[in-house]
Structure 1
Amino acid sequence: MRRKMNKVLNQSGVIPYRERNGRIEILLITTRDRQTWVIPKGGIVNGMTPPASAAKEAWEEAGVIGQVDVNELGTYKYRKRGKIYRVKMYLLPVEIVSNSYPEASTRYRRWLDATLAIKLIKKSSLKRILKGFLETRLHSCASSL
């Protein structure tokens, strides 16, 4: 019996963050069923770069705007409904938070201390990317003192 080759679908996402009182906070959103805390991500739109597409998802899913860092932070894979997805992750320092955005009625969002945000994320590969960001960010904050 031949095994069907699964095509990997490419997505991009952001880690929306801000600094408050010397601490890093990450904005998490829920899945549409409001069961799990996640980060904004989605399919890469034809004709858009992965960072630009990630910025679009951040607006639609979380109502946040900022200048996405074009340097890829890392990638992770996950399965959903028999499909495999590869997500390219980028940083989004949040500049604007809107209360009116496309998916406001289907998702919750919450600013959390970075260490708590990492604990609430279920996917271990995404946790690893978040921890790497936090360690790098804390190191750069400490060296600028």
Structure 2
Amino acid sequence: MIEQRQLNLHQAGTVRVVRQSAALCYRVQRGTPQVLLITTRGSGRWIIPKGNLIEGLSPSGTASQEAWEEAGVTGTCTPNAFGQFLHYKRRYKKGSAVYLVDVYPLVVKSLAARYPEWQERKRRWFSLGHAASRVNSPDLASLLRNVEHLYH
């Protein structure tokens, strides 16, 4: 599913791998698919809603929950991931980790004005190509570009 990236050998022995779920929130406007990106709370980079697996929820259920908490999205999330991406976080207190993120498509039915993180994040609709150019993760950008090819 995911192209294996080579990690720096020095890093490979010191990092842990964490599984996460993400929601690729989308809609189709005038025949064109759009995805909803949100900003991170810290740096303001553009990402998709994601988080650690939640006990008692399926991975796609976790993706739906993260979409609600981080973006105010309600909708239908597919039970099967359509892709994965990796990202690396260096945290001084918690230690560094590589995150393996399964991505679940979520058709957006509505957006709430207020949701748990509404004061901490921005959200914006992007075309797939523009979204790929705005995210900082090369793996996520590649995933977005590959989804774009399905619609052409």
TM-score by length of 1: 0.88
- Map 1:1-145; keep pairs closer than 5 Å: 4=13, 6-33=15-42, 35-80=44-89, 81=91, 82-136=96-150, 138-139=151-152
- Code of the aligned partner of 1:85: Y
Tell me how far 1:117 sits from its aligned partner: 1.0
Q: Which runs of 5+ in 1 are unaligned?
A: 140-145
Deviations 1:21-64 (A, max 9, x none): 11111110000025201100000001211100000000000000
Shift of 1:68: 0.5
Contact 1:10 1:43 in 2 (8 A): yes
Amino acid at match of 1:32: R
* Deviation sequence 1:42-92 (CA, Å, 0-9, x none): 000012111000000000000001110112111111111211111011101
% identical equivalent positions: 36
For 1:78-135, what per-residue CA distance to the aligned partner results, in whole angstroms no more than 9, with x for missing partners? 1112111110111011011111100000000001122111110111111111122222
2:3 match: none
Q: TM-score w.r.t. structure 2 length?
A: 0.84
Tell me, yes or no, if the aligned pair for 1:51 and 1:90 is still in contact at 8 Å.
yes
Structure 1 residue 7 displacement after superposition = 2.6
